[in-house]
Structure 1
Amino acid sequence: MSDAIEIDVCALGDLAVEEGRTYVVADEQLALFRMRDDTVHALGAVCPHRGGPIADGQCDEAVVWCPLHAFGYDLATGACVNGDFRLPRFDARVEDGRVVVTVPE
């Protein structure tokens, strides 16, 4: 991303494994998901289909399912696995027990 900033969002321990949590970061609504290996994925928090809260969806190691209409989104890419939608994806990493996300400036 050009003109991007890195923001410390939360402690890794604030995220339950394979459950989403929504944060507002630099005017972006993000859904963060912690995996079993303690990696973190960051996607846009609002389903483009009908505005469903992505962080409230069920997920596994690869896909999160929108709780409203069951559109599935690949956690690594944001691409919809069963429709023509896409969620924004943001780079996320864990550094010293903290989740750092890169967002547009």
Structure 2
Amino acid sequence: MTKWIEIGALNDIPVLGSRVVRTASGNIAVFRTSEDEVFALDDRCPHKGGPLSQGIVHNKRVTCPLHNFVIELRSGMAVAPDEGCTRAHPTKVENGIVWLCVQTAATVPAE
């Protein structure tokens, strides 16, 4: 089951920066590009689990702060020669508000 959650105002995320959203399934890094595009990835580099939210955002990529792995913001795929992938999450911006789509566990009705 998917659910859209409000993250906050676009202007609350620094240009070429990120914000961390804590979810039941782990931290998600929400990135803002210089063109005000917003992307979200699990906050773990596929190499050694480094915090991508602390990396350097450039173009539509982020460079992990631990070992300089470069990750595509749109897909979560590592850029060659690096290998690996981190999960990408859908985002949208409506009226200056950032929304993040997260997976939620289906609830079981009480008997």
TM-score by structure 2 length? 0.85
One-letter identity of the residue aligned with 2:100: V
Equivalenced residues, count: 103
Structure 1 gaps, min length 5: none
Task: Give the percent of matched residue pairs that are identical in Structure 1 and Structure 2.
Answer: 34
Q: Distance in 2 between matches of 1:47 and 1:33?
A: 14
Partner letter of residue 89 of structure 2? F
What residue in structure 2 maps to residue 94 of structure 1? 93
The aligned counterpart of 1:79 is 77
User: What is the RMSD computed on CA atoms of the aligned residues?
Assistant: 1.3
Q: Whose radius of gyration is greater, 1 or 2?
A: 2
Q: Distance in 2 between matches of 1:78 and 1:44?
A: 8
Instruction: Using the TM superposition, give the Cα deviation of residue 23 of structure 1 relative to its aligned residue in structure 2, in angstroms.
Output: 1.5
TM-score, normalized by length of structure 1?
Answer: 0.89
Could you tell me how far apart the structure 1 residues matched to 2:19 and 2:36 are? 15
2:4 match: 6
Structure 2: give runs of 5+ residues left out of the alignment. Answer: 105-111
Alpha-carbon deviation of 1:28?
3.1
Structure 1 residue 93: Cα displacement: 0.8
| 1:29 equivalent in structure 2 | 27
Q: Which region of structure 1 is more displaced relative to structure 2, 60-69 or 19-28? A: 19-28
